[in-house]
Protein backbone atom coordinates (compact mmCIF):
# COMPACT_ATOMS: atom_id res chain seq x y z
CA UNK A 1 0.00 0.00 0.00
CA UNK A 2 1.35 3.39 -0.95
CA UNK A 3 2.02 5.86 1.83
CA UNK A 4 -0.77 8.35 2.19
CA UNK A 5 1.36 11.40 2.79
CA UNK A 6 -1.29 14.09 2.76
CA UNK A 7 0.22 17.52 2.29
CA UNK A 8 -1.02 20.61 4.15
CA UNK A 9 -4.06 22.19 2.54
CA UNK A 10 -2.00 25.06 1.14
CA UNK A 11 0.13 22.53 -0.74
CA UNK A 12 -2.39 19.93 -1.82
CA UNK A 13 -5.06 22.28 -3.05
CA UNK A 14 -2.81 24.87 -4.65
CA UNK A 15 -4.22 25.79 -8.04
CA UNK A 16 -0.95 26.56 -9.77
CA UNK A 17 -0.51 24.67 -13.04
CA UNK A 18 2.23 22.07 -13.03
CA UNK A 19 4.38 21.70 -16.14
CA UNK A 20 3.72 17.99 -16.34
CA UNK A 21 5.24 17.49 -19.77
CA UNK A 22 8.62 17.57 -18.13
CA UNK A 23 7.58 15.75 -14.98
CA UNK A 24 5.69 12.75 -16.33
CA UNK A 25 8.07 9.98 -17.42
CA UNK A 26 7.93 9.04 -21.09
CA UNK A 27 7.05 5.46 -20.15
CA UNK A 28 4.13 6.71 -18.09
CA UNK A 29 2.65 8.57 -21.04
CA UNK A 30 2.91 5.45 -23.17
CA UNK A 31 1.27 3.27 -20.54
CA UNK A 32 -1.65 5.62 -20.01
CA UNK A 33 -2.32 6.78 -23.56
CA UNK A 34 -4.67 3.89 -24.33
CA UNK A 35 -6.49 4.39 -21.05
CA UNK A 36 -7.01 8.10 -21.77
CA UNK A 37 -8.43 7.31 -25.22
CA UNK A 38 -10.75 4.69 -23.79
CA UNK A 39 -11.93 7.09 -21.11
CA UNK A 40 -12.78 9.74 -23.70
CA UNK A 41 -14.82 7.29 -25.73
CA UNK A 42 -16.68 5.87 -22.76
CA UNK A 43 -17.65 9.08 -20.99
CA UNK A 44 -20.69 10.32 -22.91
CA UNK A 45 -22.33 13.22 -21.07
CA UNK A 46 -26.03 13.11 -20.23
CA UNK A 47 -27.79 15.92 -22.06
CA UNK A 48 -29.40 18.46 -19.73
CA UNK A 49 -30.30 21.06 -22.34
CA UNK A 50 -33.25 19.29 -23.93
CA UNK A 51 -36.16 21.50 -25.06
CA UNK A 52 -38.27 22.66 -22.14
CA UNK A 53 -41.73 21.11 -22.20
CA UNK A 54 -44.77 23.24 -21.42
CA UNK A 55 -47.26 21.09 -19.55
CA UNK A 56 -49.99 23.69 -20.03
CA UNK A 57 -50.14 23.28 -23.80
CA UNK A 58 -51.63 19.82 -23.93
CA UNK A 59 -52.11 19.39 -27.72
CA UNK A 60 -48.63 20.72 -28.50
CA UNK A 61 -47.06 18.39 -25.96
CA UNK A 62 -49.00 15.48 -27.37
CA UNK A 63 -47.72 16.32 -30.81
CA UNK A 64 -44.09 16.41 -29.72
CA UNK A 65 -41.87 13.92 -31.50
CA UNK A 66 -41.79 10.59 -29.69
CA UNK A 67 -37.99 10.60 -29.78
CA UNK A 68 -37.83 13.87 -27.81
CA UNK A 69 -40.28 12.57 -25.21
CA UNK A 70 -38.32 9.34 -24.88
CA UNK A 71 -35.10 11.29 -24.46
CA UNK A 72 -36.60 13.34 -21.65
CA UNK A 73 -37.88 10.20 -19.95
CA UNK A 74 -34.47 8.58 -20.22
CA UNK A 75 -32.72 11.57 -18.63
CA UNK A 76 -35.29 11.81 -15.82
CA UNK A 77 -34.94 8.10 -15.14
CA UNK A 78 -31.15 8.27 -15.09
CA UNK A 79 -31.07 11.27 -12.79
CA UNK A 80 -33.68 9.79 -10.47
CA UNK A 81 -31.52 6.70 -10.03
CA UNK A 82 -28.48 8.82 -9.23
CA UNK A 83 -30.12 11.46 -7.04
CA UNK A 84 -29.49 11.74 -3.33
CA UNK A 85 -32.52 13.15 -1.55
CA UNK A 86 -30.62 14.25 1.55
CA UNK A 87 -27.12 14.89 2.80
CA UNK A 88 -25.77 11.50 3.91
CA UNK A 89 -24.85 10.82 7.50
CA UNK A 90 -21.08 10.72 7.85
CA UNK A 91 -20.02 7.83 10.05
CA UNK A 92 -18.31 4.47 10.17
CA UNK A 93 -20.80 1.64 10.57
CA UNK A 94 -20.01 -1.02 13.15
CA UNK A 95 -20.23 -4.47 11.53
CA UNK A 96 -20.08 -8.04 12.79
CA UNK A 97 -16.85 -9.97 12.47
CA UNK A 98 -18.43 -13.06 10.94
CA UNK A 99 -18.96 -11.59 7.47
CA UNK A 100 -17.54 -13.36 4.42
CA UNK A 101 -15.87 -11.95 1.32
CA UNK A 102 -17.96 -11.27 -1.77
CA UNK A 103 -17.96 -14.06 -4.33
CA UNK A 104 -18.23 -11.80 -7.38
CA UNK A 105 -15.88 -12.95 -10.17
CA UNK A 106 -12.55 -11.16 -10.24
CA UNK A 107 -11.93 -8.45 -12.83
CA UNK A 108 -8.83 -7.57 -14.89
CA UNK A 109 -5.53 -8.62 -13.33
CA UNK A 110 -7.37 -10.29 -10.46
CA UNK A 111 -8.98 -7.13 -9.08
CA UNK A 112 -11.80 -8.19 -6.70
CA UNK A 113 -15.19 -8.14 -8.40
CA UNK A 114 -16.81 -6.16 -5.59
CA UNK A 115 -14.15 -3.46 -6.01
CA UNK A 116 -14.80 -3.31 -9.77
CA UNK A 117 -18.52 -2.93 -9.05
CA UNK A 118 -17.83 -0.04 -6.67
CA UNK A 119 -15.49 1.75 -9.07
CA UNK A 120 -17.84 1.32 -12.02
CA UNK A 121 -20.77 2.52 -9.92
CA UNK A 122 -18.81 5.68 -9.10
CA UNK A 123 -17.96 6.20 -12.76
CA UNK A 124 -21.63 5.94 -13.70
CA UNK A 125 -22.79 8.34 -11.00
CA UNK A 126 -20.13 10.91 -11.82
CA UNK A 127 -21.00 10.66 -15.53
CA UNK A 128 -24.41 12.08 -14.55
CA UNK A 129 -23.38 14.42 -11.74
CA UNK A 130 -20.19 15.79 -13.29
CA UNK A 131 -19.86 14.72 -16.94
CA UNK A 132 -17.14 17.31 -17.59
CA UNK A 133 -14.76 15.40 -15.32
CA UNK A 134 -14.69 12.25 -17.48
CA UNK A 135 -13.90 9.97 -14.56
CA UNK A 136 -13.11 6.35 -15.45
CA UNK A 137 -13.48 3.38 -13.17
CA UNK A 138 -9.92 2.33 -13.99
CA UNK A 139 -8.47 5.56 -12.58
CA UNK A 140 -10.33 4.97 -9.32
CA UNK A 141 -9.05 1.41 -9.41
CA UNK A 142 -5.51 2.76 -9.79
CA UNK A 143 -5.96 4.81 -6.62
CA UNK A 144 -7.51 1.86 -4.80
CA UNK A 145 -4.68 -0.44 -5.84
CA UNK A 146 -1.94 1.86 -4.59
CA UNK A 147 -3.72 2.94 -1.41
CA UNK A 148 -4.98 -0.38 -0.04
CA UNK A 149 -4.83 -3.08 -2.74
CA UNK A 150 -8.61 -2.70 -2.97
CA UNK A 151 -9.27 -3.11 0.78
CA UNK A 152 -6.61 -5.83 0.81
CA UNK A 153 -8.76 -7.83 -1.58
CA UNK A 154 -11.38 -8.76 0.99
CA UNK A 155 -14.74 -7.02 1.22
CA UNK A 156 -18.23 -8.40 1.75
CA UNK A 157 -21.08 -8.33 -0.74
CA UNK A 158 -22.02 -4.80 0.38
CA UNK A 159 -18.52 -3.48 -0.23
CA UNK A 160 -17.45 -3.35 3.42
CA UNK A 161 -13.89 -4.54 4.11
CA UNK A 162 -13.76 -7.71 6.19
CA UNK A 163 -11.23 -5.88 8.33
CA UNK A 164 -11.38 -2.09 8.64
CA UNK A 165 -8.62 -0.28 6.74
CA UNK A 166 -6.50 2.30 8.56
CA UNK A 167 -3.25 4.05 7.73
CA UNK A 168 -0.45 4.73 10.22
CA UNK A 169 -1.04 7.21 13.04
CA UNK A 170 0.23 10.59 11.85
CA UNK A 171 2.06 11.53 15.03
CA UNK A 172 5.48 12.08 13.49
CA UNK A 173 6.86 8.71 14.52
CA UNK A 174 6.93 7.39 10.95
CA UNK A 175 9.54 8.97 8.70
CA UNK A 176 8.11 10.82 5.71
CA UNK A 177 4.63 11.40 7.12
CA UNK A 178 3.29 14.71 8.34
CA UNK A 179 2.10 15.33 11.88
CA UNK A 180 -1.66 15.80 11.71
CA UNK A 181 -3.51 16.43 14.94
CA UNK A 182 -6.95 15.02 15.61
CA UNK A 183 -9.74 16.58 13.56
CA UNK A 184 -12.68 14.26 14.24
CA UNK A 185 -12.42 13.34 17.90
CA UNK A 186 -11.75 9.78 16.84
CA UNK A 187 -15.22 9.41 15.32
CA UNK A 188 -13.98 8.12 11.97
CA UNK A 189 -10.44 6.92 12.58
CA UNK A 190 -11.03 5.45 16.03
CA UNK A 191 -8.21 7.31 17.80
CA UNK A 192 -7.70 10.62 19.57
CA UNK A 193 -4.75 12.99 19.61
CA UNK A 194 -3.77 12.49 15.98
CA UNK A 195 -5.42 11.57 12.70
CA UNK A 196 -4.80 8.61 10.42
CA UNK A 197 -6.05 7.80 6.94
CA UNK A 198 -9.23 5.74 6.79
CA UNK A 199 -10.87 3.27 4.43
CA UNK A 200 -9.82 1.61 1.18
CA UNK A 201 -9.23 4.97 -0.51
CA UNK A 202 -7.31 6.32 2.51
CA UNK A 203 -8.91 9.68 3.26
CA UNK A 204 -7.96 11.83 6.20
CA UNK A 205 -11.03 12.41 8.41
CA UNK A 206 -11.14 16.15 7.68
CA UNK A 207 -11.04 15.56 3.93
CA UNK A 208 -13.69 12.85 4.16
CA UNK A 209 -16.01 15.22 6.03
CA UNK A 210 -15.70 17.71 3.18
CA UNK A 211 -16.24 15.37 0.22
CA UNK A 212 -18.19 12.47 1.78
CA UNK A 213 -20.54 10.80 -0.71
CA UNK A 214 -23.11 8.05 -0.48
CA UNK A 215 -22.22 5.64 -3.25
CA UNK A 216 -24.67 2.87 -2.38
CA UNK A 217 -27.70 5.06 -1.57
CA UNK A 218 -28.13 3.85 2.01
CA UNK A 219 -28.12 7.36 3.50
CA UNK A 220 -24.64 6.94 5.01
CA UNK A 221 -21.23 8.09 3.81
CA UNK A 222 -18.92 5.49 5.37
CA UNK A 223 -15.21 5.86 4.53
CA UNK A 224 -14.73 2.11 5.00
CA UNK A 225 -17.33 1.18 2.38
CA UNK A 226 -15.95 0.64 -1.13
CA UNK A 227 -18.97 2.21 -2.85
CA UNK A 228 -18.90 5.35 -0.69
CA UNK A 229 -15.10 5.60 -0.81
CA UNK A 230 -14.92 5.24 -4.60
CA UNK A 231 -17.53 7.94 -5.24
CA UNK A 232 -15.92 10.25 -2.70
CA UNK A 233 -12.52 9.72 -4.31
CA UNK A 234 -14.04 10.61 -7.66
CA UNK A 235 -15.50 13.83 -6.28
CA UNK A 236 -12.16 14.68 -4.70
CA UNK A 237 -10.23 14.13 -7.93
CA UNK A 238 -12.76 16.05 -10.03
CA UNK A 239 -12.94 19.03 -7.68
CA UNK A 240 -12.10 22.39 -9.21
CA UNK A 241 -13.38 21.53 -12.66
CA UNK A 242 -10.57 19.14 -13.55
CA UNK A 243 -10.97 16.90 -16.59
CA UNK A 244 -9.58 13.38 -16.25
CA UNK A 245 -9.44 12.99 -20.04
CA UNK A 246 -6.52 15.44 -20.03
CA UNK A 247 -3.28 13.81 -18.85
CA UNK A 248 -1.89 16.91 -17.17
CA UNK A 249 -5.13 17.61 -15.30
CA UNK A 250 -5.39 13.96 -14.30
CA UNK A 251 -1.86 14.11 -12.92
CA UNK A 252 -2.66 17.29 -11.01
CA UNK A 253 -5.67 15.59 -9.44
CA UNK A 254 -3.70 12.51 -8.38
CA UNK A 255 -1.06 14.73 -6.75
CA UNK A 256 -3.76 15.72 -4.26
CA UNK A 257 -3.49 12.25 -2.82
CA UNK A 258 0.28 12.21 -2.57
CA UNK A 259 2.52 15.05 -3.73
CA UNK A 260 4.90 12.68 -5.52
CA UNK A 261 5.38 12.04 -9.21
CA UNK A 262 6.33 8.45 -8.37
CA UNK A 263 2.89 8.09 -6.82
CA UNK A 264 1.28 9.57 -9.94
CA UNK A 265 3.23 7.14 -12.12
CA UNK A 266 2.07 4.15 -10.07
CA UNK A 267 -1.59 5.17 -10.10
CA UNK A 268 -1.58 5.86 -13.83
CA UNK A 269 0.27 2.65 -14.60
CA UNK A 270 -2.28 0.57 -12.72
CA UNK A 271 -5.14 2.53 -14.25
CA UNK A 272 -3.84 1.83 -17.75
CA UNK A 273 -3.29 -1.82 -16.89
CA UNK A 274 -6.83 -2.29 -15.61
CA UNK A 275 -8.10 -0.75 -18.84
CA UNK A 276 -5.94 -2.92 -21.08
CA UNK A 277 -5.71 -6.10 -19.01
CA UNK A 278 -1.92 -6.01 -19.35
CA UNK A 279 0.14 -6.03 -16.16
CA UNK A 280 2.29 -2.94 -15.58
CA UNK A 281 6.01 -3.21 -16.20
CA UNK A 282 8.38 -2.81 -13.23
CA UNK A 283 9.86 0.37 -14.70
CA UNK A 284 6.39 1.90 -14.71
CA UNK A 285 6.08 1.44 -10.93
CA UNK A 286 8.82 3.59 -9.36
CA UNK A 287 9.31 3.33 -5.63
CA UNK A 288 7.12 5.76 -3.69
CA UNK A 289 9.19 7.45 -0.98
**What tens digit of pLDDT does each residue of 65-105 get?**
344 434 433 443 344 344 454 799 999 999 998 999 999 99
Note the pLDDT of residue 174.
86
Note the pLDDT of residue 79.
41
Burial (0-12, 13-18, 19+ Cβ within 10 Å), 155: buried
- Could you say which residues of the chain have pLDDT below 50? 1-83, 85
Note the pLDDT of residue 177.
81
- Give 140's DSSP letter: H
Report how far residue 130's alpha carbon sits from residue 115's, in angstroms, rounded to the nearest whole number: 21
- Give 220's DSSP letter: E
Q: What is the pTM of this model?
A: 0.72
Report how far residue 241's alpha carbon sits from residue 226's, in angstroms, rounded to the nearest whole number: 24
Note the pLDDT of residue 236.
98
Span 97-145, pLDDT tens digits: 899 999 999 999 999 999 999 999 999 999 999 999 999 999 999 999 9
Angle at 148 between CA 268 and CA 7, to 5 degrees: 70
Report how far residue 186's alpha carbon sits from residue 51's, in angstroms, rounded to the nearest whole number: 50
Amino acid sequence: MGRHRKQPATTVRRSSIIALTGLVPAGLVAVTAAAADTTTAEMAAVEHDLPELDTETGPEFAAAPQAAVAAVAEVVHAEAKQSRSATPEVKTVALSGDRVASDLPAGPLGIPGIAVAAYQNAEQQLAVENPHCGMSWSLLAGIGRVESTHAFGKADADGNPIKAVYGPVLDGSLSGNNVIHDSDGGTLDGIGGYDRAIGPMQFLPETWERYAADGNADGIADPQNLYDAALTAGKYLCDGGLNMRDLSQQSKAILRYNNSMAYVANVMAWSGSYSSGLAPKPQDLPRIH
